[in-house]
Amino acid sequence: QVHLVESGGGLVQPGGSLRLSCAASGVTSSLYVMSWFRQAPGKEREFVATTSRGGIRTSYANSVKGRFTISREDAKKAVYLQMNGLKVEDTATYYCAADRKSMILSQTWSQNAYEYWGQGIQVTVSS
């Protein structure tokens, strides 16, 4: 049974930083594509960042490129999202997602590609 649990969310002022963590259980995490998505109120869930199996490759949404960094520690079965320079428009519920199948890059951007999801964690950017 694969289980993903996010942590590290909260309230931060514009320009601030947060680090989200996703702890995985029931997996050999190195075999999984791990990604972050987010969903703002009234909007569809959108891709944020992904890291390939083994962490060889990463990809980011244009809206977060240069501000967010995804990383993984397979020995700890964890994936992280370092968020710097936060903006009000980054306010959303952030979700960790994982899947074991091999994907081309464009597939990793689609929520439909992932079998496993965390419960989500709130990030609010406000002054």
- Scan for tokens 């049974």, then name that residue: 1
Amino acid 73: pLDDT: 94
Mean pLDDT per 10-residue section of the chain, whose length is 127 residues: 95 98 88 95 96 92 98 94 98 97 90 96 97
31 contacts 52 by C-beta, under 8 angstroms:
no
Q: CA nearest 86: which of 123, 34, 39, 35? A: 123
Q: How many helices (H) and strands (E) does the chain have?
A: 1, 11
Q: Could you give the CA distance from residue 100 to residue 3 in angstroms, rounded to a whole number?
A: 13
Q: CA nearest 125: which of 5, 17, 44, 46? A: 17
127 contacts 14 by C-beta, under 8 angstroms:
yes
Amino acid 8: pLDDT: 98
